Structure 1
Amino acid sequence: MMGIEGVVALIIGAALGAFIMTLISKNRLQQLKQMQQEEINGFLNQQIELNKALAISNEKSDNLANRMDQLDRQLEKERELRHEAEKILVSRDSELINLKQRLEEEKKNLEAIQERSRVEFENVAHRILKQQTADFTITSQKGLQDILTPLRERIQDFEKKVDLTYEKGLKDQSDLKAELLKIYDLSVTLDKDAKNLTNALKSDSKRQGNWGEIILERVLERSGLIKDQEYYLQFSSKNEQGAIMRPDVVIRLPEDKHLVIDSKVSLTAYTEYVSAEEEPLRSKKLREHLDSIRRHIKELSEKRYDQLLGINSPDFVLMFMPVEPAFGLAVQADHELFNYAWHERVVIVSPTTLLATLRTVSSIWKFEKQNQNALEIADRGGKLYDKFASFVNDLENIGQNIEKAEKAYQEAHKKLISGSGNLIRQVEQIKIMGVTTKKSLPETLINEADE
């Protein structure tokens, strides 16, 4: 019995051992499968991470390639701008040199014009003084000739007829008498006309004033000034009390300044002085002539033309005396006349002195226009220089930006192909691992990259 039980126990022990071994093998196999699955999962996760890294690397590579293209384009553009800037710089240098030459020529021309104008003014003033004296003498002689020529012709005719009558005898006495009557009538008529002309100016202040204004206009026409630009006739303005005032002439000066001229004719006493033969009467008429001039000075001073609205004038007015001999007589007879006039803020001028003054004003206007042109050239030159300096600064900035762009390009290119961990080799290694891609990097770039 014990033998059977031993066998049975042995069989049961073997079966239990086999069962236990089976359980152990299953557990071991399960563990192996689990470990294998974990390894597979780890490999898959690693593959996913590699794919992600490859995608990121491809994206960085594309971005880097785009950045390189942008840098290349920017570098090319900066080079073109620099080339254009250099061309413009050369052009501006040439313009600046030409402008300096023009300024130097304008300066020399201006100095030459000033010297010529000074000499011309001295010559003109001398000629004007000489010519005015001659013109007045000629005018006076012509006026007398216009009156006396018909009488002279008649007298000459009369002399001829007297000679003829003397030769013919007494038979022509009746004709001679008739001719004498005609000559007498003509002489009376001429004398009457001359007196009427003199009386017209002597007795009619309005006509005297008009005549003086005509002479003043003729002087202005010969002055070289431009009417309604550099001088104005019958200028109308208001004084501080609001009353309308009309000076005969307003001369416009540079810098918006003005000079007022008013014509005053003192003819009555002067003509009586000239025609008087007795010394007491001449002395009396001379005093009346001087008194008349002083009254005109006082009246003109009280008008205060220099304070009119719209007038920027010195505190004096020019009083124009159109009759040169009357002016000369007054100055010679009254040495204090000029001082009196100046005290009343009046300066007395004759046709000769006024013309010289106006010619001076005309020359000043010419110089002013020339100076304005020179100032405009200088102003444009200054602006051109400022623009040129700004352009040079911009050009320097462009050069600095080009240098920065080149430096950034070199740094990016170095990261792309240089060193053991360059981006080209990294992304190529990922591609070699089996990552699927649609594009490839250029072979030249791959070959250029360090191993």
Structure 2
Amino acid sequence: MTALLPVLTLLIGLAIGALVGNRLASRSSGADSLDVDRTRDIANATLATTMRELIDVNTRQLAEATARSAAEAAQQQKSVHDLVAPVGEQLARLDQKLNDLENKRVEDSGRLNFSIGSLASLASSLQKETAELASAMKNTKVRGNWGELQLQRVIELAGMTEHVMYEQQEHIAGEGDSARPDMIVRLPDSKKIVIDAKAPMSAYLNSINATSDVERERLLAKHAVDVMAHVNALAKKNYASRVDGSLDFIVMFVPGDTFLTAAFDANPEFLEQAIAKNVFPASPGTLIALLRAIAYGWRQEQLAENAAQVVALGKELYERVGVFTGHLQKVGNSLTKATESYNSAVASLETRVMPSARRFETLAVAADQALPGVSPIDVTTRQVSLPELEAGPTEQNLS
């Protein structure tokens, strides 16, 4: 369209010029009307022809521009498609992954809800059982039985052997009163350790159900006082003088780490005060370590006894081998003497007996079968050559 502007401007100028000339011609006095009409017709025809040519040129250029625009649009569309296609594939894969994640989330959410429900049910059951246990543990006899049961489990975990490494509920007589400790542990050197498993726990169990922090702290402080009172009671029993071979301390077994920790928290000097009275507080973990050390000592003692028995057996075997070797040497000597006697008999047979017997053959009184010959024994017995026998066997070895 820009290239046609000069042509269009020229045509318009020609048309205006023709009109102006026509006006001027109409004003002149000597102009002929026929020439004016002819000139107008020629100008109109020229203008029409020029306009048709201009329209044809414009139409062709418009068609070419439209084709070029369509080709460029197609190329641009292809370029955009090539550029957007990978993004579309990535978006499709992302959408698939999002769907998979959503499905997995729904599945995991279902399992989580089920697990939460199971956990809530378990927590409710555990809370109920805990309440029942706390109610049962308020009974002194039940607490004692539970402590003894925990002590038995500790013994089993430590690998102790009853009636060899320890005794349970052994009666101890005394002046005016008697005692029955829960366990007496035997040591390899005939020493003993007394263990008690009757620690108080009522105040601690009550503190679990306390409704306020003040009440809980008061009950925990009472728990520490109760445990310390039990320490004093054990110290007064003086097991060291009543049990033969007992060490100068007693182990106070507390069947749970929490009970002992609560006493330590309420009374930071509790451990020092208990040890000063020769009472050693022990939780299950501490007692297992102690009993395992004792069991290890028993195993080493057994190994030492076995080694001593092996030494004694080796000494006895050595002595018996010496006796047997002496007897064997006697047998060898006897076999040598027997061989020598046999060879002497064979020589006597060949030199003294057989010549007289063969004379019967010359007298025709011998049997059809000739007398067989007898060969001497050339094999000798092997002497036992041992350093122990060079000086000759002793009377003890030959007995």
Short-chain TM bin: 0.3 to 0.5
TM-score, length-normalised on structure 2? 0.47
- Between Structure 1 and Structure 2, whose CA radius of gyration is higher? 2
Comparing both structures, which one devotes a greater share of its residues to helix?
1
TM-score, length-normalised on structure 1? 0.42
More relative contact order in 1 or in 2 (CA 8 Å, sep 6+)?
Answer: 1
